[in-house]
Amino acid sequence: MTLGLKYTILIVDDSPGNIDILVGYLKESYSLKVATDGDRALKVLSQGGIDMVLLDIMMPKMDGFEVCEKIMADEKICHLPVIFLTAKDSTLDEEHGLKLGAVDYITKPFNPSIVKARVRNHLELKAHRDQLEVLVSRRTNQLMQTQDAMIEAIGTMAEYRDTETGGHIKRTQRYVKLLAEKLQNHPRFCSFLTDQNISSLFKSAPLHDVGKVAVPDAILLKPDKLTPGEFEIMKQHTVFGHDVIHSVQNKLGGGSSFLRIAKEIAYGHQERFDGSGYPLGRKGEEIPISARLMTVADVYDALISKRVYKPAFPHAKAVEIILNGDGRTHPHHFDPDILEAFKSNAEEFRMIAFDYADFDEEKEALSPTISPD
């Protein structure tokens, strides 16, 4: 609720007399709602707008303990302070109520000063807690935004050395997310492609080529075909990327799913489903799903992007190469189900590429009217 407005308290008691007493004590300071049984109380709570519950224990059908359990089991209302109202003065009963999640106990007959003080104190604690949660959430969002900006900056730094473009980062992020969302309910991928992991895929994609910062310019920017020795050095960018991210992961305790996925992508995005890739020659299910997704995204973007050694290919030509092969690229290089998802959503790939193209030449090649020839 907004500070400065009245708090709303739900009074739950099967005795109209008790309700009248509490309403008399609290009506001048708070907005009040009442319920005479547990079912009605839960219905009122489900409608929202309640800040505190004063809950009788001894009620027919559903007692206060059971109502409290149901409140604490509901993530939408479990944060509400619950104060038990009871004629019971047993220490065991009080202990049981507090273990269930109640914040306090008020015994009958009611003392007006005690009722007002305890209600006021717990609402003030709730206000402080709510404010703290807002501040923590705001700070967490700021840190996440800073992290995302730094990740993109580091990834872009590697891309600037290689392709003279930062659009590759934004495009591959969105290709990977698109594929992941399309495959989220696929039986082969659903256990991995949770909402959290899809978010981590999007965030970690910019780091797939971070290892290129360790590749000499003479090799990285060479417009001609690399010699076998040069290509062996180029292949090491996957190892460099893996090692850098692994080092960060160790310093942060190794628990981040984002860094785990980033490391998988950096190390495995040049592996091929038929085992013909590098650095380890892994094949099939040996390659992490994250890397298999990035492989399709990276190859498509390399084809439709302008490079020092090639012009931008038309979208239709890029799709044809991925689906049918061209000597260097073969459909066996890709996970068949991911390849099928790419085929079914190729037009969405084209739109992403067009929206984040770096050069007019690339935009022209991404026109839907361009033929594959």
Instruction: Print the SS3 string covering 82-144.
Output: EEEEECCCCHHHHHHHHHHCCCEEEECCCCHHHHHHHHHHHHHHHHHHHHHHHHHHHHHHHHH
DSSP state of 227: P
Taking the C-alpha atoms of residue 314 and residue 102, their distance in angstroms, rounded to an integer, is 65
Taking the C-alpha atoms of residue 174 and residue 329, their distance in angstroms, rounded to an integer, is 22
Asked if residue 192 and residue 80 are part of one domain, the reply reads no
Asked if residue 126 and residue 174 are part of one domain, the reply reads no
Asked if residue 252 and residue 308 are part of one domain, the reply reads yes
Using a cut of 0.75, tell me whether the model's pTM lies above it.
no
| Among 165, 147, 182, residue whose Cα is nearest residue 252 | 147
> What total number of domains does the chain contain?
2
Asked if residue 184 and residue 53 are part of one domain, the reply reads no
Asked if residue 171 and residue 40 are part of one domain, the reply reads no
pLDDT per residue as tens digits for the range 32-85 = 999 999 999 999 999 999 999 999 998 988 999 999 999 999 999 999 999 998
Report if residue 155 sits inside a domain.
no
Asked if residue 253 and residue 355 are part of one domain, the reply reads yes
Asked if residue 192 and residue 116 are part of one domain, the reply reads no
Asked if residue 188 and residue 304 are part of one domain, the reply reads yes
Asked if residue 325 and residue 270 are part of one domain, the reply reads yes
- Collapsing DSSP to helix, strand or coil, 8 comes out as strand
Q: Which domain holds residue 300?
A: 163-365
Q: Which residues of 290-319 are buried (b: 16+ CB within 10 A; e: fewer)?
A: bbbbbbbbbbbbbbbbbeeeeebbbbbbbb
Q: Which residues of 73-91 are buried (b: 16+ CB within 10 A; e: fewer)?
A: eeeebeebbbbbbbebeee
Report if residue 58 sits inside a domain.
yes
Report if residue 28 sits inside a domain.
yes
Which CATH number goes with the domain that contains 191? 1.10.3210.10
Asked if residue 322 and residue 205 are part of one domain, the reply reads yes
Which CATH number goes with the domain that contains 19? 3.40.50.2300
- Collapsing DSSP to helix, strand or coil, 31 comes out as strand
Mean pLDDT, 10 residues at a time, over the chain (373 residues)? 68 93 92 94 94 92 92 92 81 78 88 91 90 83 69 65 68 96 97 94 90 88 89 94 87 74 95 96 97 97 83 91 92 97 96 87 70 45
How confident is the model at residue 150, as a pLDDT?
65
Asked if residue 211 and residue 126 are part of one domain, the reply reads no
Which pair of tokens denotes residue 299?
């190859």
Report if residue 143 sits inside a domain.
no
pLDDT per residue as tens digits for the range 247-294 = 888 877 666 678 899 999 999 999 999 999 999 999 999 999 999 999
